Amino acid sequence: MAASLHHLTFFFPLLRPPSPKPGNHSSRKSVSGTELHGATSKPNPRAIMAFASGKDTQEVVLQPGERLYLGMDFGTSGARYALIDKQGTIHSEGKREYPFYMSGETIDWVQSWKTTIFSLLEDVPVHFRPLVASISIDGTSATTIIVDSNTGEPLWRPFLYNESCPDALPMVKSIAPVNHTVCSGSSTLCKLVSWWNTEDSKKESALLLHQADWLLWLLHGKLGVSDYNNALKVGYDPEVDSYPPWLLAQPYSHLLPSVTAPGTSIGCLKENIRTQFGFSEDCVVCTGTTDSIAAFLAARATQPGKAVTSLGSTLAIKLLSTRRIEDARFGVYSHRLDDKWLVGGASNTGGAVLRELFTDEQLDKLSEQINPMEASPLDYYPLTAAGERFPVADPNLAPRY
């Protein structure tokens, strides 16, 4: 279940040159929308009729030369796409549940994600594909894939977003600043260190990617590129735009991907994919972001102090702030959003645990009985398994029913 019904509806304000770093006022040259996406507007022989989604469905006319922008949201149980114009109007959207492929007794998530991304491309209406100027993807934060740096093939099963690696936590705490974001068992760095301490071979040719990075690589073909939202939990410092010295001094630092701002053009869509699906020659692929940040953008909260709660398989909270706040004891961290910060955290509780306990019909009936004006007398803490990330970081926290 994706964390927001329309994560990607307004994801593409990200597709622009990065704003000045927080607290650092620089004079960047403004760039036009056409230059911004690395795409040129080509004359269209005719205006195309489209339908915007939503309750008040209405006919939308695409003018000659107008371009569209494709975003894909990879959540915890499925993925969706939204195709929008510069005004944020949705011209097409769709979703897919992940097909389950098994590798032994475990789910082969990599194959499921790979199948899904090409299914979504196939779902984009054929007549819109030549109009797509850029493509990007958001993925679940801290979902980590260790791949071969030459082939891009996974060397290990992926570490999922909520998976905790407490075995690596003491080592990470010994090198990172006190209460740093990486000082949580579910951080990307803990997952990297756990793999490093477990795997005896192929370390020299290994590369760390996040879920969105790997999926985007399937489209642009350039290994080792990430964005500073996804890279936050591996230790990247978005305030100074670099990995910190204490991280670069580690023996596994060569696994770290290069990092750029979310929405930065990486390169054109691979030729074989472009020709297979009918996208234009100038269609570019851009670095992505995390799913909860995309949900925040979809809510169009623009003023400091405004917060957005995204309830899907798990629960994420983001508050727009002028200050960066981080404390790993409580699972609180800050993502950079242009010259401001998104302060918040992500809990392991959410819709997934309800799905384990109730049917959809039962949830509908029980929800009708809830009075949101009254505080609940119940003291429950539903989790699918032991372990919590926010509002307390405790890999051993047991569910309470």
In order along its 401 residues, the chain shows pLDDT tens digits of: 333 333 343 344 343 334 445 544 333 322 223 233 333 333 333 344 444 444 444 456 777 788 999 999 998 889 999 999 998 899 999 999 999 999 888 999 999 999 999 999 999 999 999 999 999 999 999 999 999 999 999 999 999 998 999 999 999 999 999 999 999 999 999 999 999 999 787 899 999 999 999 999 999 999 999 999 999 999 999 999 999 999 999 999 999 999 999 999 999 999 999 999 999 999 999 999 999 899 898 888 889 999 999 887 888 899 999 999 988 889 899 999 989 999 988 898 988 898 889 998 999 999 999 898 999 888 999 998 888 888 988 888 899 98
Strands 206-210 and 144-148: antiparallel
Per-domain boundaries in the chain: 68-292, 301-400
Rounded Cα–Cα distance for residues 58 and 60 (Å): 6
Q: E strands along 202-328, which residues?
A: 206-210, 225-227, 258-260, 265-268, 284-286, 289-290, 307-311, 315-321
Structure tokens at 137: 């993807």
Q: Which fold has domain 68-292?
A: Nucleotidyltransferase; domain 5 (3.30.420)
The runs of H, that is alpha helices, within 176-312 are 188-198, 211-220, 245-248, 271-277, 291-298
Q: Which residue has the tokens 């039962």?
A: 362
Residue 268 phi, psi dihedral angles, 5° rounding: -75, 155
d(CA 338, CA 111): 34
- The pLDDT score that the predictor gives to residue 389 is 86
In this chain, the answer to whether the domains covering 68-292 and 301-400 adopt an identical fold is yes
Q: Which CATH class is domain 301-400?
A: alpha beta
- What pLDDT score does 59 carry? 56
pTM: 0.81
CA distances from 379 to 238, 399, 401 (A): 38, 11, 8
